A = this chain, B = another copy of it.
Amino acid sequence: MEQQVYVGVDLGGTSIKVGLCNEQGKLLLTDEGPTGTEHGADVVLENIAQYVRKLVAESDYTWDQVAGIGAGIAGFMDISEGFVKLSPNLGWRNVPVKKILEEKLGKSVKIDNDANVAALGEAWAGAGAGIPNIVCYTLGTGVGGGIIIRGRIYQGFSGMAGELGHMAIVPDLEAIDCGCGKKGCLETVSSATGIIRMAKEAVERGESTSLALVENIMAKDVFDAAKTGDETALRIINRAALYLGKSMATVSVILNPQRFIVGGGVSKAGDILFDAIRKHYREHTQETAQEGVDIVPAVLGNDAGVVGAAGLNLRG
C-alpha cells in the first residue's frame, strides 16, 4: 500500500498554518496564509480548504494519499461532532467545521481545541514520542494543558479535561482572583501574565531590582534579570515554579503520567525555570509516584499545533 499522509491545520485568529505529516508524525512540509477572520466563517473555511489543497499539490504526495485532515481551534467545541460552539478569537458561534470541511475536501476531518492538539503534537512526534501517558503544560498568556492517555488525547466528559491552569493551587491567604471566576488558580501565578504582574508589583513596592529600569515589563525581561542574579526576578520565577511543581505533584497522584512536557513562551526561560520546577516537584511528590517520572521542555515550538492536528485522525 502507498504511504499515507495527514494534514494538520493550526487555525489562528490572524493566520492559518498547514502542515503535512507522515504516519510517524514527521513534519514534511508546511505553509501559511491569512485567516481572513473579518470575512466570516465561510471564507475562513474556504481558505483552509485552499491552503490544504495547495500544500498537498506542492508536496511529493498525491491527494489520494491524504488519509485525514485535522484542525486545532481555540474555543469550546463538541469534539465528536466536530462542531465549534464558541470561538471568541474567531468570532464564531455554532460552526459545523467538520461537516463543511468534509464536504469541501472529501476527506475525514477531525477537530480539537488548540491546547489538546499541541499536547498531541509533542506526545506523538516531539518531547513525548514513544511515551503513552503524558501531561503537557503550555505556559503562555494563561496556563493551558493537555492529557495524553494511552497515546491519545483525553478530552473528558465535556471537553474540559486538562484545564491545568485552573487547578486551585495557591493557598487562600495568597490567592488572587482568576479570570475563570475562582481564586488561586495556577495561571494567576505561573503564566506570563502572572509573572509580569508579580514583577510590576515588586517594582511598585520599590524593591531594589533591575526590572525597575524596564519600561514595559515582559516575561522575558524577568528571565533575563534572573539570569544576571536579580533577586526579585529569581524569587518571582521560583514562585511560578513552586506552584507548577506542586500542581504536578497533585497530577502525579491522580494520573501518574510518565512524563510532564512544558511548552509555551514562559518555558523559554530554560534551566532556571526547569531546575526549580523539578526541585519543587521532587519535594512535594510521594516517592513511589515520582519514580522514573521526568519533566522536560517541549521541542516542537510553534509546529506542535500542525503536527498534533495532523495526528487527530490517528490519535484524537
Interface positions of A (Cβ within 8 A of B): 76, 133, 145, 147, 149, 154-164, 166-168, 171-173, 180-182, 246, 249-258, 284, 286-289, 291-293
A173: chain B residues at CB < 8 Å are 171, 173
Known: A171-B172, A284-B168, A286-B182. A160 touches B251 (CB 8 A): no
A161: chain B residues at CB < 8 Å are 254-256
A181: chain B residues at CB < 8 Å are 286-287
Q: Complex: how many Å from CA A288 to CA B286?
A: 31
> Which of B156, B164, B171, B292 has a CB less than 8 Å from the CB of A158?
B292
Known: A168-B250, A250-B168, A250-B250. A158 touches B256 (CB 8 A): yes
A252: chain B residues at CB < 8 Å are 160
A166: chain B residues at CB < 8 Å are 253, 286, 289
Evaluate contact between A258 and B157: CB separation under 8 angstroms.
yes
Evaluate contact between A133 and B157: CB separation under 8 angstroms.
yes
What is the minimal beta-carbon distance from A93 to any residue of chain B, in angstroms? 16
Evaluate contact between B158 and A291: CB separation under 8 angstroms.
yes
Q: Which of A154, A156, A291 has the most CB of B within 10 A?
A: A156
> Which of B164, B172, B284 has a CB less than 8 Å from the CB of A254?
B164
What is the minimal beta-carbon distance from A287 to any residue of chain B, in angstroms? 7
> Which of B147, B157, B254, B286 has a CB less than 8 Å from the CB of A292?
B157
**From A178, which residue of chain B is reached at the shortest CB distance?**
B286
Number of copies: 2
Evaluate contact between B257 and A156: CB separation under 8 angstroms.
yes
What is the minimal beta-carbon distance from A308 to any residue of chain B, in angstroms? 19
Q: Complex: how many Å from CA A155 to CA B132?
A: 12
**From A156, which residue of chain B is reached at the shortest CB distance?**
B256
Q: Complex: how many Å from CA A284 to CA B250?
A: 16
> Which of B76, B253, B258 has a CB less than 8 Å from the CB of A167?
B253
**From A293, which residue of chain B is reached at the shortest CB distance?**
B157
30 A/B residue pairs, CB under 8 Å, sorted by A: A76-B288, A133-B157, A147-B254, A147-B255, A149-B154, A154-B255, A156-B257, A157-B257, A157-B292, A158-B256, A158-B292, A160-B286, A161-B254, A161-B255, A163-B254, A163-B286, A164-B253, A164-B254, A166-B253, A167-B250, A167-B254, A168-B246, A168-B249, A171-B171, A171-B173, A180-B286, A182-B284, A250-B250, A250-B254, A255-B255
A257: chain B residues at CB < 8 Å are 156-157
Q: Which of A171, A256, A258, A288 has the most CB of B within 10 A?
A: A256
**From A183, which residue of chain B is reached at the shortest CB distance?**
B284
What is the minimal beta-carbon distance from A239 to any residue of chain B, in angstroms? 15
